[in-house]
Amino acid sequence: MDELESFEQAVLAQAPPGALLVGASISPDGKHGAALTVYPAANYLMDDVFVRDGDRWELRMAGGGGGIGWSWLGGEEGVGVLRFEGRARAGTSWALVTFQAERHRVPVRHGYFQFVAWNVGDEAQPSLDGFE
């Protein structure tokens, strides 16, 4: 099992029963993770940021998902993790997100997408260009 799969399992193990993982990302230094889960029974998105403690992932910040979120991770002032999340158009597999003049194809899972950028400032703004 690779590191991302292990992180995804840890996220779901901490989530309420029935939660579905929409997206997950681990920081380049491996110290933090970001995940978006959906609770179908309540049609609610959870945008969570985790910190690694040895072999375990501990919840650091939790909030409602959807839209643009940014969190400082405690390192360099004004640098953190950006999350851009939302509902996808029905029948699509990819969200097309432009960030810092680059286009990214972001997978759609369970009807939602999550784009994550690490080590960026809070002024950084992604845009949704469409779906495939």
The domain ranges of the chain are 3-131
Provide CB contacts within 8 A for 28, sequence distance 6+: 118, 119
What is the reported pTM?
Answer: 0.94
Digit-coded pLDDT (tens) for 52-111: 999 999 999 999 999 999 999 988 888 999 999 999 999 999 999 999 999 999 999 999
Positive or negative, the CA dihedral 77, 81, 86, 88 is positive
